[in-house]
Chain A
Amino acid sequence: MTISEPLSLKNKASNIGFIFFGLIGILPFVAAFVYALLYSFGLVGAANSGFTTEFWISTWQSGAFIKSLVYSTVVAGTSIFISVSIALWLTLKFRKELEHPILAFAMYLPLAIPGIVAAFFTFQLLAKAGFFSRIAYAFGWITEARQFPDLVNDPYAIGIIATFISIVTPFLLLLFLNVYKNERVDELAQLSQSLGANKQQTVWRVSLPVVLNKTWTLIGLYFIFLLGAYEVPLILGQESPQMLSVLIIREIKQYDLSRLSEGYVVAVIYTVIVTTAAVLLFSRKNDVKHEG
């Protein structure tokens, strides 16, 4: 049979493919995790001297980790919630107008701005000597920079949340508009209205559920991304509590070499949380459909 030859060739090629995938896609992840785990128990690291649970205990007792976890969750959650709300509102209210070529282009522009630039820009705008503060001064609302309210490096993470929203909302808006079109939500809405539902009911019972149902995996994914965000909270956050990535890196890079392991403890916990979330997110029904 002529088929056997190409088949074996195919198998060989796909085997190499899988080896490569394992080497690049899986091995580094496992290696990083195992290394962090060993480090957290003092089994590797020049300043460590063998197995100990002291770092796990001290991390637990210091409370910095729990604070950071709660803080990160609240900041990421708030940002996602507000972003989803704005994007949904814009979608429902303006989807027709947003088809105008200028608007259609403008909607894409924010995607050209990475987190680090967004954070830099937010700082320039909202700092006490920033652009808004200068405007407030020009209007005579304040007479000194220090009178301007705390908007960056502030205790309520206003700067961080504002930046997250400005990064995530454009993505979500484009996503929702796409789903709206692809799922023919308009037709569904018309149908429901012709069946006697009023406008409110149509929005809450038909349009929103359809759009959210199609996108919640991605929204969850965004939440995970924000949970681990680094550049934005590094520039706009305060010294305590810090978001998870900032905390981990600070502890791994600290002066006191004998305490580096505490950073790895947090890294291990963070990795476990995030992977569990991912498993929950993706192992349920729809694997993410992608329509190129």
Chain B
Amino acid sequence: MDFKLIILCLLFWSCGDQNKTVEKDPLLDSWEEVTKASEGTTVHFMMWQGSPVVNEYINNYVIPTLKKEHNIDLQIVSGQGPEIVQMVMGEKEAGVKNSQIDIVWINGETFFQLKKIEGLWGPFVQKLPNATYINFDDPHISIDFQQSIEGMESPWGMSQFALIYDSLEVPNPPRNLEALEQYIKAKPGTFTISNDFSGMSLLKSFLAELSGSPNGLDGPFDAEKYEVLSKKLWEYINRNKKYFWKEGVTFPKEHSKMDQMFASGELSISFGFSEGAIEEKVNRGLYPKSTRAYAWENGTVLNSNYIGIVHNAPNKAGALQVINFLISPEAQLTKADPNGMDANPVLDLQKLPEAWRKKFEELPKRKYGAELSELSKNAIQEPAPEYMIKLYDDFRTFVIEK
């Protein structure tokens, strides 16, 4: 066996990929050319894979349909928030011209960090034919965590954060911090905060309540305000955490674990985006039929989630085609099915052609979950991304490690 040969082979194997020339900028092409260029290609989509319904929608609807209608292979890569940022940053540091990924599923705080390191490609949203169905005058769509999206990310879904409870077991769920304190003292061990995106979103609601109004956190990040409010928040949690799940000694890492614990009755209150995401779980029999969702009195965050294209995406034409498909009436309709992913469309029904509008209006209503329209009376805007990043850090420092 010739070792030199093996080493040489390995070297060639590894370098071969970088020699590919970067394609020309598809932003300058007509949509026909984008379509042509994207055919027969592969698009890598880095997304959070923590929810069975989302995975089901992607694996059994989006991937096969894209293949059939556009002859594009969509490959899912698991990763969210910090993993995406680090991936892009790592590639920048190493000077990688062709990224591992093309598109990413993000929201505000990741958008913020990606913008900071110039990790996104665009603006591209206006290029997408289906963008005409989106109402960019809606601030919940065009403003992401207090930042204007400026065409650098395309909205994909919109949802409100909600708390969930079993209405038979808890007839009167707490709707503010004071009520929550009384509630967990009466039912110790049945409440916790997951140390992830969902948990931090709940903390934002708490922080907003401590600020005294639903608009208390609006506007750019205010370090002073944060210091004052977060101090109160950690004091509140530390004071009460002995009544939390596992006496507040530890917190669940993944939100999906909270769902499981809610299902088994270990927790009596849980929460989540997509207005609590209970419909499908009740239908599957995971949650009792008496499960209900509600918003915090002072409001829970209402936001959109987005898809961006990384600056060094090797297949930008394919990326555009995939995103255009994801915001098509067809894909959004399937996504909105209460028995499926049950996600609110980002399309403006008034802008849709008559036939599509009808289809959306004829969608069955949720049987258990609350509709966004009623819940959004108690909605707050997403505060600036720095709040989230700070909360992550400080929740660990001042609560978990205390």
Query: Which residue numbers of A lie inside 8 Å of B, CB to CB?
Result: 16-17, 19-20, 23, 44-47, 62, 64, 128-129, 144-146, 150, 153-155, 238-240, 253-257, 259-260
Known: A155-B250, A253-B82, A255-B109. A128 touches B264 (CB 8 A): yes
Q: Assess whether A255 is in contact with B81, with CB atoms less than 8 Å apart.
A: yes
Closest CB pairs A-B (n = 3) = A129-B264, A238-B250, A145-B264
Interface window among B41-49, B85-93, B323-331, B339-347: B85-93
Q: Assess whether B264 is in contact with A257, with CB atoms less than 8 Å apart.
A: no
Interface check B15, CB cutoff 8 A: no
Q: Assess whether B264 is in contact with A256, with CB atoms less than 8 Å apart.
A: no
* B316 smallest CB distance to A (angstroms): 23
CA A129 – CA B259 in complex, angstroms? Answer: 12
Summarize B's interface: helix, strand, loop or mixed: helix
Chain B residues positioned under 8 Å from A44 (CB to CB): 93
* A141 smallest CB distance to B (angstroms): 16
Q: Assess whether A128 is in contact with B261, with CB atoms less than 8 Å apart.
A: yes
Chain B residues positioned under 8 Å from A46 (CB to CB): 89, 92-93, 117
**Category for how many chain B residues contact A:** 35 or more
Q: Assess whether A239 is in contact with B7, with CB atoms less than 8 Å apart.
A: no
Q: Assess whether B3 is in contact with A17, with CB atoms less than 8 Å apart.
A: yes
CA A44 – CA B333 in complex, angstroms? Answer: 47
* A39 smallest CB distance to B (angstroms): 10
Q: Assess whether A16 is in contact with B3, with CB atoms less than 8 Å apart.
A: yes
Centre residue among B253, B260, B265, B392 by max chain A CB count within 10 A: B253
Give 5 pairs: A residue, B residue, CB < 8 Å, sorted on A. A20-B7, A128-B261, A129-B264, A153-B250, A155-B246
Chain B residues positioned under 8 Å from A153 (CB to CB): 246, 250, 252
CA A240 – CA B248 in complex, angstroms? Answer: 11
* B116 smallest CB distance to A (angstroms): 8
Chain B residues positioned under 8 Å from A254 (CB to CB): 82, 392
Chain A residues positioned under 8 Å from B3 (CB to CB): 16-17, 19-20
CA A146 – CA B251 in complex, angstroms? Answer: 15
Interface check B180, CB cutoff 8 A: no
Chain A residues positioned under 8 Å from B123 (CB to CB): none
Q: Assess whether A239 is in contact with B109, with CB atoms less than 8 Å apart.
A: no
Chain B residues positioned under 8 Å from A155 (CB to CB): 246, 249-250
Q: Assess whether B93 is in contact with A240, with CB atoms less than 8 Å apart.
A: no
Q: Assess whether A253 is in contact with B86, with CB atoms less than 8 Å apart.
A: yes
CA A154 – CA B249 in complex, angstroms? Answer: 8
CA A155 – CA B245 in complex, angstroms? Answer: 13
* B263 smallest CB distance to A (angstroms): 8
Chain B residues positioned under 8 Å from A17 (CB to CB): 3
Interface window among B19-27, B216-224, B393-401: B393-401
Q: Assess whether A253 is in contact with B83, with CB atoms less than 8 Å apart.
A: yes
Known: A238-B250, A254-B82, A255-B109. A16 touches B4 (CB 8 A): yes
* B58-82 at interface with A (beta carbon < 8 Å): 81-82
* A248 smallest CB distance to B (angstroms): 14
**Binary interface profile of B, 363-399, with partner A (CB < 8 Å = 1, else 0)?**
0000000000000000000000000110011001100
Known: A146-B266, A238-B250. A256 touches B89 (CB 8 A): no
Chain A residues positioned under 8 Å from B252 (CB to CB): 153
Chain A residues positioned under 8 Å from B260 (CB to CB): 129
Known: A16-B3, A146-B265, A239-B253. A256 touches B392 (CB 8 A): yes
Q: Assess whether B251 is in contact with A239, with CB atoms less than 8 Å apart.
A: yes
Interface check B190, CB cutoff 8 A: yes
9 additional contacts (CB under 8 A) given A47-B89, A155-B246: A20-B6, A62-B397, A129-B260, A145-B261, A154-B250, A239-B195, A239-B253, A253-B82, A255-B392
Q: Assess whether B250 is in contact with A129, with CB atoms less than 8 Å apart.
A: no
* A230 smallest CB distance to B (angstroms): 14
Residue of B with least CB distance to A148 = B266
**Binary interface profile of B, 172-209, with partner A (CB < 8 Å = 1, else 0)?**
00000000000000000110000100000000000000
Chain A residues positioned under 8 Å from B113 (CB to CB): 255, 257
Residue of B with least CB distance to A129 = B264
CA A89 – CA B264 in complex, angstroms? Answer: 39
Chain B residues positioned under 8 Å from A256 (CB to CB): 389, 392-393
* A176 smallest CB distance to B (angstroms): 36
Centre residue among B4, B195, B264, B397 by max chain A CB count within 10 A: B264
CA A255 – CA B261 in complex, angstroms? Answer: 27
* B19 smallest CB distance to A (angstroms): 22
Chain A residues positioned under 8 Å from B117 (CB to CB): 46, 257
Q: Assess whether B401 is in contact with A64, with CB atoms less than 8 Å apart.
A: yes
* B388 smallest CB distance to A (angstroms): 8
CA A253 – CA B79 in complex, angstroms? Answer: 11
CA A238 – CA B89 in complex, angstroms? Answer: 29
